[in-house]
Every structure is written in structure tokens, then in C-alpha cells.
Chains A and B, each alone.
Chain A
Amino acid sequence: MPQKKRILLVDDEATITRTLKLYLEGTGAYEVRAENRGSAALEAARAFKPDLILLDVAMPDMDGGDVAAQIRGDEALKDTPIVFLTALVKKQEVVATGGDIGGYPYIAKPLEPEKIIEVIERHTS
């Protein structure tokens, strides 16, 4: 059985991290660690060593951009793929920008979970 991919899911919405963790782990292909505070994401990433980080953009204590900058500044984590989750854009914009903001790929909420898996696979394979 192939090793499960490790996904760090950072979103201040606990319902999202809970259901998405349930869904992704339910596929049997992923091990998910959920974190609801941006400021705790770096420590969680250092401890969890994820294969990919799903990172919310708008969080109250520290936004996704700052979290991404911290992770990129960490020697051990700088190559870890980061995919933003955002509710602030439209699907047309995702298409227009090629699903990329500031050099990072992103997922516009709400997205069918199957599509989220496609994005994860694209950036971890």
C-alpha cells in the first residue's frame, strides 16, 4: 500500500478543516493535519512535514500570504508546495489567472472535493 500523502490544512473555519480532513482521509490516500490559526501554521508544518499545504488566504490572526512567506523562509519547508484556498475570487478569475496568485496556485471556494484532490495530486506528483 503506497504511503499516504501528508496534507497540512490551514483554515480559520473549523467546519471546513473538519469536513475536508474527513473527506480527504476518507479516500485513504491522505493523512491530514488541520490547523485553524495562521500563526500556528509554521510550527505545525515543522512538526508535521507535509507533502503539501492547503492554506486559507483570509485569516484573522495572520493571513495566508504571511504564513506562506514564513514557510518559504524556513530551510526545511521552503520547497513544500503551497496551494491557497480562497473565498475572495470567482471561478472566471481562476481561469483567467491560470489558477495562480502571486506565484502560488489557488483553489476558489467552494470547489468540488474531487477537484481539490486533482489539484493536490498535480502539485505532489
Chain B
Amino acid sequence: MSPKGGDLRAFAANVPQLHVVPPRALAISAAALVVSVAGALLFPQGFAEYGFLAWLLPMIPAFLLCYYRGWTRLMTMLAAAMTLLALGYVVAALLGTTLPEWPSIAFVIAAYIGIALGAGWFREVRAAEGHRAAAERELHQTSLHLRKSHTDLQLAQWKLIEAERLEAVGKLAAGVAHEVKNPLMTLLTGVHYLKQHVPTTDEGVKTLLEDMHDAVKRADAVIMGLLDFSQPRQLALAPADLNAVIHRSAGMVKHEVTQARVALDLTLGPDLPRLDLDVFKLQQVLVNVLTNAAHATPPGGRITVRTYCRDSVTILEVDDTGSGIPEDALGKLFDPFFTTKPTGKGTGLGLAVARQIVEMHGASIDIGNRPEGGARVTIAFTALKERA
């Protein structure tokens, strides 16, 4: 019976029946055939005399009919009947006797009664097996649900802890920001005052003032990064063209790229679906990723931004031709305050913030080394609602 349209599920439910029982019945009937054919060959006269084939042959098409219709119980009964019938004749032939017509008929009737009883027993066994299989399936389903609930619970717990942690860090950051930014303001104003009003020809003093200025800016960058990392975020999602966001972000890092003397190639897929994006937040991510790539790529190198769609997943890749990321750093890249840049060149918060933003889009970000050298950042927009 071939499946049609929405009947596919019902058909699939029948498949185990067709495949669990028939092999047994087939084995029984095959045995019956072997025995009867052997009997017919060994004792052709006895078989011919009592019309063995007249009993056996109609059962074969009946058996096949049952098999293809999935009437497995009837099929089992027929198979058993064929076996008993054949065995009865073989035994009679072996004993060198011939069964008279009426005992033969009585034998067949007895055989069918036995078969009916056997089939009843078999049905019970099958029913018990069916119940057990159903119970096992239910248990399996329950186990799956339980496992999923456990995972969901763990995820919710993790999110709660993360939210509480971020709230605590946020409060701390706001407090630290206030307490640190005020002295930074004093230092910055003081350094500017000294540069303007205390003229000096001493190169050491000039360098010292520049270093103090840079130190203030660096401390300010760390504080701002911390505020950025810890502040609760809400995305303003709207359907947007990912490629347009990339173009804008590329424009924003033009200075960094030019300064690093690297080429920036955009190989953007023409037929990407529009995605629900917070354009400004995603720009922040891309600017961070592209700036990192520019810092990691030696002069003369190349940064390639690529977009394409595969299996309904929109993928954005940023490749550089730098030296790649040390193996021991790969697992820590998204940790707050972790940086591979020289001291003072990075706060270590850029990628932590980037991951937060990407994950809030329901997307994922991954960083790895390319076999041909250099690093690759992959952002996969898997969970985004796509719009045509």
C-alpha cells in the first residue's frame, strides 16, 4: 500500500508491522516449502495420492496477499498451517503409510484448531510486545522531554546567573566609572594645561606628558568598555540588508585599514535574504572585528569580507592574512579583558561585547585559524527571522 499525501505518517506507523512479523512468517513458510518440496521429491506417490499440492498451493497466493496487505496474524496462521500440513504428510510418508482421506481431513481440521490456538497465543504475545514497545516509546519520549527540560532549565539558570552577574557588574561599572572618570578628567585637563603653559624643550618631559595623556585615554577606554559590556541591552530589530551594514562598517574602519596598509575586499552574496538586525549594534560588532583584522594583518596583507547563504543560514566571514591566533588563546578570545594585542592597544572587551550582541540576534560568532594561514571570524545568522 503506497503512502499518499498526508497519509505518510500512518504508513510509517505500519512499517514496523510489515517488517517485524513477515521475516518470521517467511521463515516458517520457507521451511514449509522446503519440507513439502523435499517430501514431494522423496515420496512423489504419497503426495500426489493425497493431493498435498491441492492444499498447499492455494495457501501461497493467500500468504502473499496477506504479506502485501499487512495481515500479519492471518499470514502467521497460514504459514503455520502450511508447516503442519506438510509435516503431517512427510511423517505419514516416512512411516511408509498413507493417510486415508478422513483422517487427513481430521488432521487438517485439528491443525487449524491448533493454529487458531497458537495464533491466539501469538496475538497475546504480540499484544504484550506491542504494549511493551509502546511503553518503551513513551519512556523514550518522556526521557527526551526530560532531557530537553533539563537543558532548558540549565540554560534558563545560566541566563539568570549571567543576568545577575551582568547587573552586578553593571552597578560596579557605573560606580567605578563615576569614581574613576572624575580623576581622569582632572588628569586630562592638567596634562593639557601643562602642555600649553609650561613650555619645555626637554624631549623627556614632552614624552612624559604624551604618555600621561595616552594613559588617561586608555583608562577611559577600559571604563567605557566595561560600561558597554555590562549595560543591559535591548536590540532595535528591523528588516535590513546585511551587505549594506557591511559597506557602512567598512567605511567606518577605512582609516584603520589604510593606516595598516592592508587591502579590504568585499565579496558579498547578491541574493541574501533581508534579516532582522539592530543595524547600529551590528555595525559595532563589525567595526570591532574589522579593526582586529586590520591590527592582525601585516602591511601588504588582505582582509576579505564574504557573505553567502547556505541551507537557509546567512553566513558572514572575515578572513585576514595575519599570523593567526595562538592555539592557547583560541578558547579565551571572548573572555572579558582577554586580549592578544600589545599592552595598551586593546581593552579586551571588544569581542566580549561583540558576542553578546551577536547572540542577542540569535546568531553565533566563531573565530578560528584558516588552514592556509590567518584567522577567520564567522558569524552565522541561524535563528533570525528571514523575510523575503
Query: Do A and B come together as binding partners?
Result: yes
Chain A interface (Cβ < 8 Å from any Cβ of B): 13, 15-16, 18-20, 22-23, 26, 58, 85, 87-88, 90-92, 109-114
Interface residues of B in 54-90 (CB under 8 A from A): none
B355 contacts chain A at the CB level, 8 A cutoff: no
Q: How far, in whole Å, are A90 and B185 apart by their CA atoms in the complex?
A: 14
A90 touches B182 (CB 8 A): no
Contact call A26/B182, Cβ cutoff below 8 A? no
In the complex with contacts A87-B177, A91-B224, A110-B216, A26-B196 CB distance below 8 A: yes
Q: Does B345 contact A (CB under 8 A)?
A: no
A13 touches B177 (CB 8 A): no
- Contact between chains at A23 and B192 (CB < 8 Å): yes
Cβ B228 vs Cβ A90 within 8 A: yes
Q: How far is the CA of A30 from the CA of B186 in the complex (A)?
A: 18
29 pairs from A and B in contact (CB 8 Å cutoff) = A13-B183, A13-B185, A15-B186, A16-B182, A16-B185, A16-B189, A19-B190, A19-B193, A20-B185, A22-B189, A22-B193, A23-B189, A23-B193, A26-B193, A58-B178, A85-B185, A87-B181, A87-B185, A88-B174, A88-B178, A90-B224, A110-B184, A110-B185, A111-B185, A112-B188, A112-B192, A113-B189, A113-B192, A113-B193
CB of B197 within 8 Å of the partner chain? yes
Q: How far is the CB of A12 from chain B (nearest CB, A)?
A: 9
Total contacting residues, chain B, CB less than 8 A: 22
Chain B residue, CB-CB nearest to A96: B280
Bound form: Cα–Cα A85–B188 in Å: 15
Q: Considering the complex, which residues of chain B in the window 22-79 have a beta carbon less than 8 Å from any beta carbon of chain A?
A: none
B386 within 8 A of A: no
Q: Report how far A13 CA is from B189 CA in the complex, Å.
A: 13
Q: Which residues of A contact B196 (CB under 8 A)?
A: 26
* Alpha-carbon distance between A88 and B227 when the two chains are bound, in angstroms: 9
A interface SS class: helix
B276 contacts partner chain A, Cβ-Cβ < 8 Å: no
The complex places the Cα of A46 from the Cα of B224 at a distance, in Å, of 37
Label chain B's interface by main secondary structure. Answer: helix
Which 10 pairs show the lowest CB-CB distances between chains A and B?
A87-B181, A110-B185, A15-B186, A110-B184, A19-B189, A109-B185, A110-B188, A109-B181, A23-B193, A87-B178
Cβ contact within 8 Å between B220 and A110: yes
A113 to chain B minimum Cβ distance, whole angstroms, is: 5
Q: Which residues of A contact B189 (CB under 8 A)?
A: 16, 19-20, 22-23, 110, 113
Q: Enumerate chain A residues within 8 angstroms of B184, measured Cβ to Cβ.
A: 109-110
CB distance from B233 to the nearest CB of A (A): 12
Enumerate chain A residues within 8 angstroms of B220, measured Cβ to Cβ. 110
Q: Are A109 and B197 in contact (CB under 8 A)?
A: no
Bound CA span A114–B188, Å: 11
Give bound CA distance, A69 to B189, whole Å: 28
In the complex, A111 Cα to B182 Cα: how many Å? 10
Given pairs A16-B186, A19-B189, A113-B189, 9 additional interface contacts (CB within 8 A): A13-B185, A23-B189, A23-B192, A23-B193, A26-B196, A87-B182, A87-B185, A88-B178, A112-B192
Query: Quick one: given A23-B193, A110-B216, A113-B188, are A13 and B182 in contact (CB under 8 Å)?
Result: yes
- A residues less than 8 Å from B185 (CB atoms): 13, 16, 20, 85, 87, 109-111
Residues of A within 8 A of B183 (CB): 13, 15
Interface residues of B in 179-215 (CB under 8 A from A): 181-190, 192-193, 196-197
Q: How far is the CB of A123 from chain B (nearest CB, A)?
A: 19
A15: min CB distance to chain B, Å: 4
CB contacts (< 8 Å) of A58 on chain B: these are: 178
Q: Are A88 and B177 in contact (CB under 8 A)?
A: yes
| Most chain B C-beta atoms within 10 Å of own C-beta, residue among A18, A22, A109, A113 | A109
Identify which of residues 131-187 in chain B touch chain A, using a CB-to-CB cut-off of 8 Å: 174, 177-178, 181-187
B190 surroundings in chain A (CB, below 8 A): 19
Residue of A nearest to B189 (CB): A19
A26 B197 Cβ-Cβ under 8 A: yes
- Bound-state Cα–Cα, A92 to B220, Å: 13
Chain B residues with Cβ under 8 A from A112's Cβ? Answer: 188, 192
Query: What is the minimal beta-carbon distance from B186 to any residue of chain A, in angstroms?
Result: 4
Which residues of chain A come closer than 8 Å to B188, judged between CB atoms?
110-113
In the complex, which residue of chain B has the Cβ closest to the Cβ of A12?
Answer: B182
Q: For residue A87, which residues in chain B have a CB less than 8 angstroms away from its CB?
A: 177-178, 181-182, 185
